[in-house]
């Protein structure tokens, strides 16, 4: 389980906030506020990897999208955001090429609205946190 984002870029923090909820429920969470490629080694040997991150695809803020990236590359329409050279989609494809991608990879994206320098998350995005945390818990069972 890996949650990505930046706590100082508004709605980009949503993945980390989902991770906080899961950690409170006793689930082990890898948190990544920098390059997701640093997580590659920890993915090797996993049967299931669930990732949570903010998206920016033009969908209404707070929209939740679940994508199975096990067999196919994430499409550009997913809208995963990144302020780094390698984002989630590129990191997944690098793991696939290196042979360290888990057998099953599920990505939950939550559509953001505001990615400015702030620690405030918009209400529409905040309302999706519990929904995604519940879905991830079920995914991991």
Structural domain count, the chain: 1
Residue 82 has pLDDT above 60, yes or no: no
Distance in angstroms (rounded) separating the CA atoms of residues 111 and 12: 9
Structural domain range at position 50: 2-140
User: Beta strands 2-4 and 30-32: pairing type?
Assistant: parallel
Distance in angstroms (rounded) separating the CA atoms of residues 112 and 122: 8
What is the dihedral sign for C-alpha 39, 13, 24, 92? negative
pLDDT tens, position by position, 13-70: 999 999 999 999 999 999 999 888 999 999 988 999 999 999 998 999 999 999 999 9
Q: What is the pLDDT of residue 78?
A: 60
Residue 118 has pLDDT above 70, yes or no: yes
DSSP 75: P
User: Beta strands 104-111 and 64-68: pairing type?
Assistant: antiparallel
State the pTM of this model.
Answer: 0.92
CB atoms within 10 A of CB 18: 28
Residue 117 has pLDDT above 60, yes or no: yes
**CATH code of 101's domain:** 3.40.50.1450
Percent of all residues in the chain with a pLDDT value above 90, rounded to a whole number: 77
Q: Using 50, 70 and 90 to split pLDDT, how confident is the model at 132?
A: very high
Residue 77 has pLDDT above 60, yes or no: no
pLDDT tens, position by position, 101-115: 999 999 999 999 999
Q: What is the pLDDT of residue 85?
A: 59
Q: What is the pLDDT of residue 84?
A: 52
């Amino acid at each position: 389980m890996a949650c990505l984002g930046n706590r100082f870029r508004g709605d980009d923090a949503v993945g980390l906030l989902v991770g906080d909820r899961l950690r409170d429920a006793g689930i082990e969470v890898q948190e990544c506020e920098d390059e997701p490629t640093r997580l590659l080694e920890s993915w090797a040997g996993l049967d299931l990897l669930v990732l949570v991150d903010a998206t920016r695809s033009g969908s209404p803020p707070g929209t939740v999208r679940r994508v199975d990236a096990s067999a196919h590359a994430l499409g550009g329409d997913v809208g995963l955001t990144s302020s780094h050279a390698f984002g989630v989609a590129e990191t997944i494809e690098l793991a696939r090429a290196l042979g360290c991608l888990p057998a099953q990879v599920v990505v939950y994206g939550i559509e953001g609205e505001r990615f400015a320098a702030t620690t405030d998350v918009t209400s529409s995005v905040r309302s999706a946190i519990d929904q995604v945390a519940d879905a991830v818990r079920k995914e991991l069972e």
